[in-house]
Amino acid sequence: MSMALKIDVLQVGVLATNCYVLRTEEQDENDCVVIDPGSQSELIISFLDGANLTPSLILATHAHGDHLGAAAPLIERYGRQFMIGENDVVPASQQLDWLKSMLGDFQEPPAPSKPLKHGEMITAAGIDIEVLSTPGHTQGSSSFSIDGHVFTGDTLFKETIGRFDLSDGDQHQEIASIRNILFALDDDTVVLPGHGESTTISHEKEHNRYVR
């Protein structure tokens, strides 16, 4: 399966979270998928409305507030589904006070429409999404594999990995997730992380000192 996938990225909030907006050129309607709406809901809504897009699904890679702090306003406006990994459902409703304070505009996310499990396939806006459970940064961290791209949240960054020293992080688990799950993807898979610039699986296999 190959689709003409169009990806826009908005950097939002004080931690410059990558909020991704996905659509396909084949899709007649103006449906899209939003991944990690972490902050600045007005900016995200302005972009969507300006592009005449309506999200049919809102995904969060994990429970931290800088990745889902704007989910509630988007869901309120568009009335769409919100999904997150099954082991991050409870933590999403129990945010760290210091993180909420830092973000400034955090809003409590709604209960998810559906908790996501490893290997699950979901389709929205004409986009087929494979859910990969990649715990370690959080216990419910998920990556989303879509047509030669993988959205890794805070699990894998360019030449580094996400922090594992927060309440439910685990260094060995995170490294295992990268080696066993993400590195099993094709080498030319484009890695789109929760912060920073994109990379590829092959580049990380060669240059990421945490998982070589």
- HSE at residue 204, side-chain half, CA atoms within 13 A, is 31
Domains of the chain: 5-207 (3.60.15.10)
Taking residues 114-126, report their average pLDDT.
Answer: 96
- CA dihedral (51, 54, 56, 59) positive or negative: positive
The residue type of 88 is: D
Residue range 69-108, pLDDT digits in tens: 999 999 999 988 999 999 999 999 998 888 888 888 999 9
**Selection from 98, 82, 103, 100 nearest residue 17 by Cα:** 103
| Model pLDDT, residue 1 | 44
* 144 pLDDT above the threshold of 90: yes
Taking residues 162-180, report their average pLDDT.
Answer: 91
What's the pTM?
Answer: 0.95
CB 30, CB 52: distance < 8 Å: yes
At residue 110, the 3 state secondary structure works out as: coil
